[in-house]
Structures are given as C-alpha cells and as structure tokens.
Amino acid sequence: MSNLESFLDYQAARRLSTGAYTRLWQRSLPYLLVLPTFAFVFLFTLLPTANALIQSLYQPGNARIPTRYVGLQNYLDLFNPNTLIGADFARIAGNTLIYIFTTVPISMAIGFGLALLLNRKMRALGLFRFAFFYPVLIPMIGAGSIFAFLFADQIGLLNTILRSFGLPGIKWIGDPNWALIAIIMVSIWKQTGFCMIMYLAGLQGLSNDVYEAADLDGATTWQKTRYITLPLLQGTTLFILTTSIAASFQLVDHLFALGEGQPNERSNLLLYFIFQKYNEPRNLGYVSAITVIILAALLIFTVLNFWLWERQTYYEN
C-alpha cells in the first residue's frame, strides 16, 4: 500500500510540475517571439540613434586637440547662416523640403489615377500593371544612370526631342535652375508605381454595393471618386503618405549618377549631405546633429499624421 501511495504522490507531483512548466512556457512564449525583433531594433535602430544623439553634443578632436563637450552648439551652428556648415545646411534642407513636398503629392496623384484606370477588365491588363510598376523594381542608382543618359546635353533623348521642335536644349544636371527638377523627375518616375499598386490593392478591396447604390442615384464618375472612393481609401492614403515621405529622406542613391548635389549644392539632399560629410572627422558632430534632426522630424510627422488622420480614417471590415 505504501508503494502505491508513493507512486500516486509521484504522479501528482509530476502533473503539478508539468502544469507549472506549461503555464510558464505559455506566459513566456509571446516575449520569446518578440525578442528577435526587439534585438534587431535595439542593435540597428535604438543604439545607433543614441550614439548619434551623444556624438551630436561633442566636437571631435584630433591628435593634438581632445574631444570636448559643446552641448547644443553643433545644432546652433547648423541654423546659423554665417557659418560654412550653416549656409550649406539651410540650402540643402530647403532642397529636401521642396523635393519631398513635390515628389510625394505628384507620385500619389499619378499613382491614384493609374490605379483607377487599371482597376477594370481590359486586354493585357497584367502587362500594363507590370509596366507601370516595373520602375519600383529598379535600384535607385540604376534609375539615376538611365536618366543620366536621358538628361545628357548633346545625345540625351530629352534634348533631342526639344531640338526636333526647334527648342534649345537644357542642361538638366549642370544648370542650377534645373538640377533639382531633374532629381524630382527621377523620383516621381520611380515612386509612382508603388503608389499605384497600393491604391490598386485598396480599390480591389472595396465593395461594389455602394457604387451600385450611387449609380441608382445618378452619381457621376467624379462624384463617386470624390465622395466614395477617396474617403474609403483614407487608410491606404495614410499608409502611402507616411511610407513615401520616409522613403524620400532615404532614397538618394540617384544623386551619385546625377551630379552629386552640384552645382553649388542646388540639387543636394540631407541624407546625401550626411554621406559627403561623414568621412570628414571634423564634421562628425554636425553629421550626428543632422541625423538627429531628420529622425526627430520623421518621428514628429509620423505621430502627428496618425494622431490627426487616424481618427478620421475609415477601415472597411
């Protein structure tokens, strides 16, 4: 009888131990699943951001002059037009704002129009969709190289077309008045396909019932687009707007093939400016300060964008 009682006690203890282990595993599993992502974000986002923030508060030294703490002086120098770095920063920051607030709205508008045109049954529909989406698949440096040939002064396709109509050619890359416009044209061509495919996915997710009701009420195509399609695609628009503005800060590879920000920094952008100055140790504090400014601007924009727009956005179940 004692052996049987011992066996039952052992089985009861084993069940309790197994149950406790199972509960512990169930509670720990979500954190274990999140751990790789958190480690990746910590190593490649939070840690570099903290490092940039710390470095932005110091003036780099050299063999004879030690590194010293300067507080916010690097930021003040960036916004001081009387300093060399400040004059360049003001011009390049203005270029970046013009670039973003021109490229993003135009790409979204053209992408939305193409999505409306391709959201129907027609011959070779897949071919047309792929043709407009294909520029997204090309690396940015590849797109810049293609347009470098199109923008060439003597043999470029655009100038050849202009001369065929008796118009003078344009120095797309060398003219300060056209250099930034050329950069914007490349980005619009590259980003429009992404906007189109996102809007097309949103359109195909909308119910036809509301459009049939609108047809019965005699609504025109413009009225259905203005009062039905656009409000129902606010969630898609919010996503495209946020990702496109973030990408506009990041995608500057085409500047390698299109003048490298010249002439006179008229086509330069902030991220490429960081790349240019990073290899100069004396500018490391300024580079870190610019990085912090870009990250802060993106964070503020994203939070405000979701906070102000998310409450008005409709998501169809």
For 236-269, how does the pLDDT look when each residue is reduced to its tens digit (9 = 90+)? 888 899 888 888 887 777 888 888 778 787 888 8
If pLDDT is split at 50, 70 and 90, which confidence band does 7 have? very low
The tokens of 72 are what?
């916010």
Identity of the residue numbered 299: L
Query: Mean pLDDT, to the nearest integer, of 198-211?
Result: 87
Beta-bridge partners for 69: 58
Say how many CA atoms lie within 13 Å of 101 toward its Cβ. Answer: 6
d(CA 268, CA 124): 40
pLDDT of residue 312: 59
The chain-wide mean pLDDT, for the chain, equals: 83
- CA-only gyration radius of the chain, Å: 28
Query: Mean pLDDT, to the nearest integer, of 166-178?
Result: 85
Query: Mean pLDDT, to the nearest integer, of 192-216?
Result: 88
Say how many CA atoms lie within 13 Å of 67 toward its Cβ. Answer: 12
In the predicted structure, residue 53 carries a pLDDT above the cut 60: yes
Tell me which DSSP letter residue 25 carries: H
- Do 283 and 55 touch, CB atoms closer than 8 A? no
Whose CA is closest to 112, among 192, 193, 196? Answer: 196
pTM over 0.85: no
- Secondary structure of 170-233 as H, E, C letters: CCCCCCCCCHHHHHHHHHHHHHHHHHHHHHHHHHHCCCCHHHHHHHHCCCCHHHHHHHHHHHHC
Question: To which residue do tokens 């003078």 refer?
Answer: 168
d(CA 48, CA 241): 26
Backbone phi, psi, residue 69, to 5°: -80, 130
Q: At what angle do helices 157-164 and 140-150 cross, to 10 degrees?
A: 30
| pLDDT tens figures, 173-203 | 888 888 889 899 999 999 999 999 999 998 8
d(CA 173, CA 262): 8
In the predicted structure, residue 39 carries a pLDDT above the cut 80: yes
Identity of the residue numbered 80: N
Whose CA is closest to 225, among 243, 199, 244? Answer: 199
SS3 content of the chain, % helix, strand, coil (to 5): 75, 0, 25
pLDDT of residue 80: 86
d(CA 56, CA 103): 30
If pLDDT is split at 50, 70 and 90, which confidence band does 15 have? low
- CA 205 to chain CA centroid, nearest Å: 24
The tokens of 5 are what?
């009682």
In the predicted structure, residue 131 carries a pLDDT above the cut 60: yes
- Do 188 and 180 touch, CB atoms closer than 8 A? no
| pLDDT tens figures, 58-113 | 888 776 777 788 888 888 888 888 887 888 888 888 999 999 999 999 999 999 99
